[in-house]
Structure 1
Amino acid sequence: MTRSFLASMEAARRLVLQNDLTQATALIQAQLSGAAPSFDTPPNPAPAFAGPTLELHAEPAGSGSQKPSSAAPSGWHAAPKQAAPRTRPRFPLPGMKAHGNAKAPTLPPGARFEALRHEGRQGARAYRLYTPSRPSEGPRPLVLMLHGCTQNPEDFAIGTRMNALAEEMNVLVAYPEQPRAANSSLCWNWFEPAHQRRGAGEPAILAGIVEDIARANPVDRTRIFAGGLSAGGAMAAVLGAAYPDLFAAVGVHSGLPQGSADTVASALAVMRGGKAPGRGTARGARTIVFHGTADRTVNPINGERLAGLADGSARGAETREGASGGRAFTRTIRPAGADTPAIEHWRIEGLGHAWSGGDAGGSHSDPIGPDASREMLRFFLQP
């Protein structure tokens, strides 16, 4: 491998860090084709990082009436009058904690939102565990929620409103936290082969968190699920493929298929809609997919690939059209086949790279449109 190639890959990493995916992709393509790049290495480059960041900026959410909380912490981007998803700075501003300073969600009397930690052979991770206030008559379902890049558990809990729904449906919800030491942009490393298989890396750590919770709490082992946004959604897809015996179903919001990338270059390409070898849902867990048509960070074709719809076949699928919360959607339902699990795919018109129907108080959350959290739990808990 030549020095010029290594230098170009380093320059591409810097461009990604600066949210210039167009030039990063062009540089990688130029190197692969043997052509000289048509632009210079950016001056004063930012420090290199371990992988691509999926959520460097928020995208317009369209019109809406919700306003951000007046208690928004210092250093957050101000939201316009019309509700739009907000994003936390990729690196902390002066006075901010390393992972932002979002406050923990408000809890009903008797509920708990504990700060816990998993220690295992593959590594350690902190996580939050929400336990509903009302007692359970038996073992509860458990949902593992994986935040996107630049987010943390508290922020993700607020943006998805999953704790409120967990209270309503009496389920446990765990929010693992990706530390900056594992990825400087707090992304789950879905694109690295070391984190794409059973018994290794982050999938093993996340499975270990589930086991910790199941040992300490009455958990219904037939109803354990994983959901996530963007990089977290991509990691949920990995868990569904690697641990279908542990996770009964997974939810992927604005994510990518398992195995669709194995390098920074391939991650950039597949995010932009390039061809990918992702294995989709074959022989994995039941999967529900949400993706917005206006997502400019992760091309919506990735959601279709994950659901097995990209080739246009969708044999035996039922399609329904509707509208909810001000956005139209197309919902495609595929029954389980001989070698594929049941799939549900939501194509949401006008939604950018943000959690549909969420709380504007959280980052990367769009209050307009179908309630992805409620629909995800409905899919998870259905017989």
Structure 2
Amino acid sequence: MKMNMHLLAQMRKATRKLLKQTPVDTTAIVQEAMKQAAAFQRGGLPNVHAKAAPDMLAELQRSMDAMRGGPGAQQDQPAPWPGSFTEGSHTTSAGTRQYKLYVPSTYEENGIAAPLIVMLHGCTQDPDDFAHGTGMNALAEETGCLVVYPAQSQAANPSRCWNWFNEADQQRGQGEPAIIAGITRAVMETHAVDSRQVYVAGLSAGGAMAIIMGTLYPELYAAVGVHSGLPFASASDLPSALAAMKGEFRRSQAPGRSLPIIVFHGDRDTTVHPANGEELVARGRARRTAVEPGQVPNGHAFTRTTHHHDDGSVHAEHWVIHGAGHAWSGGNARGSYTDGKGPDASREMLRFFKTQR
């Protein structure tokens, strides 16, 4: 037990050091934890039983969350949104995932079929954390849309990352894409949803999974929003995933047609290289581009590039946030991985989605 506690203390110490250096560099944290775990499994620390490792890593994760202000932290709860935010569960042959659904207070009053946004969280996050950080539920009140947040399980991935880098999870009708599509359809069956206005968006691993969903199910989603994510099938295993995050991604031809897409990426992102955002819009095959610089008052400067088809319609928007790291642009500090210096990625995504049906 003494040796267990010693190892845990050392891992906590390393984590605190990493978080002080760069609060959102999850890659460094994961690599450090893997290094400690590898040494542990090699027998470098005597009298520590292997079966204790999962419990210790879980405890480390709780410490990381608390230090970062993430889902494991003790925080003052914000006032509830006017609408309902309820839990659900969906099971397919590929597995079961929980989710949370936000229904705005105006939903039953207007009787009109509403748009649906599917929001896929990043690593270590959960639906509550992602909803608070992105502010999407508050925007749902303004716009009258429904928002569903599928939840990755720790059983499927210890850090609750969507497994975008597994080939089995890059196939239609299989794995996590089948489950997420199932959740989407389940909400559409139980609520008045406009089937022409169903969209999917995500952050980091969730952004990578969002582009997988748009690629595999183009008949289900009208457009995709990706924040700090990666292109479709840019990796096939963990080593290639780490390479892709550094900008050395695998280039492959995506099946089917390319959906309209809006991409946000910080140019100081050290977790997922900004080259991934460039590749996402490059795969859209639009003909003309227009570049528009901007500045958020007392916040970040940005460059917005729109990609147009020959008929003038916008197929893609690429927002490069200057000076921003791996965090949701314009997000609320109540959630993890947010940067309140803007621009407001959530609001801009909804604006873009409204133009795509």
Relative to the length of structure 2, the TM-score reads: 0.79
What's 2:321 paired with? 348
Q: RCO greater where, 1 or 2, for CA within 8 Å and sep 6 or more?
A: 1
Q: Take 1:206 and 1:260, find their aligned partners in 2: how far apart are those partners?
A: 20
What's 1:300 paired with? 274
> Do residues 116 (structure 1) and 88 (structure 2) align?
yes
Q: Take 2:255 and 2:320, find their aligned partners in 1: how far apart are those partners?
A: 17
CA RMSD of aligned residues (A): 3.3
What's 1:185 paired with? 159
Residue pairs, 1:299-318, within 5 angstroms: 299-308=273-282, 315-318=287-290
TM-aligned CA deviation for residue 169 of structure 1: 0.4
Seen in structure 2, the aligned counterparts of structure 1 residues 17 and 188 have a Cα distance that, compared at 3 Å, is same
What's 1:371 paired with? 344
C-alpha contact (below 8 Å) 2:306/2:314 kept by paired residues? no
Aligned amino acid, residue 289 of structure 2: A
What's 1:20 paired with? 31
Seen in structure 2, the aligned counterparts of structure 1 residues 358 and 287 have a Cα distance that, compared at 3 Å, is same
Per-residue CA distance 1:211-262 (angstroms, 9 max, x = gap): 1101100000000000000000000000110011100001000000011000
Q: Take 2:27 and 2:64, find their aligned partners in 1: how far apart are those partners?
A: 22
TM-aligned CA deviation for residue 281 of structure 1: 9.5
Residue pairs, 1:84-95, within 5 angstroms: 86=68, 88=70
1:233 to 207, 214, 225: 207
Q: Take 2:301 and 2:101, find their aligned partners in 1: how far apart are those partners?
A: 34
Aligned amino acid, residue 170 of structure 1: G
C-alpha contact (below 8 Å) 1:280/1:306 kept by paired residues? no
Seen in structure 2, the aligned counterparts of structure 1 residues 189 and 332 have a Cα distance that, compared at 3 Å, is same
Aligned amino acid, residue 349 of structure 1: H
Seen in structure 2, the aligned counterparts of structure 1 residues 314 and 225 have a Cα distance that, compared at 3 Å, is closer
Per-residue CA distance 1:81-128 (angstroms, 9 max, x = gap): xxxxx4538xxxxxx6xxx6678753344x100111112222111100
C-alpha contact (below 8 Å) 2:235/2:249 kept by paired residues? no
TM-aligned CA deviation for residue 324 of structure 1: 1.7
What's 1:285 paired with? 259
Seen in structure 2, the aligned counterparts of structure 1 residues 180 and 306 have a Cα distance that, compared at 3 Å, is same
Aligned amino acid, residue 321 of structure 1: P
Could you tell me which runs of 5 or more consecutive residues in structure 1 were left unpaired when the two chains were aligned: 1-14, 25-39, 50-55, 58-72, 79-85, 90-95
TM-aligned CA deviation for residue 284 of structure 1: 2.4
Q: Take 2:301 and 2:283, find their aligned partners in 1: how far apart are those partners?
A: 19
Residue pairs, 1:98-177, within 5 angstroms: 106-109=79-82, 111-134=83-106, 135-177=109-151
Aligned amino acid, residue 370 of structure 1: P
Q: Take 1:356 and 1:266, find their aligned partners in 2: how far apart are those partners?
A: 27
What's 2:243 paired with? 269
Q: Secondary structure at the match of 1:306?
A: helix
Seen in structure 2, the aligned counterparts of structure 1 residues 266 and 301 have a Cα distance that, compared at 3 Å, is same
TM-aligned CA deviation for residue 341 of structure 1: 8.2
Per-residue CA distance 1:289-309 (angstroms, 9 max, x = gap): 000001000000000001108
C-alpha contact (below 8 Å) 1:280/1:308 kept by paired residues? no
Seen in structure 2, the aligned counterparts of structure 1 residues 277 and 337 have a Cα distance that, compared at 3 Å, is farther
Runs of 4+ in 1 over 6 A off after TM superposition: 46-49, 100-104
1:44 to 12, 26, 40: 40
Q: Take 2:202 and 2:276, find their aligned partners in 1: how far apart are those partners?
A: 15
1:320 to 292, 296, 299: 292
C-alpha contact (below 8 Å) 1:283/1:341 kept by paired residues? no
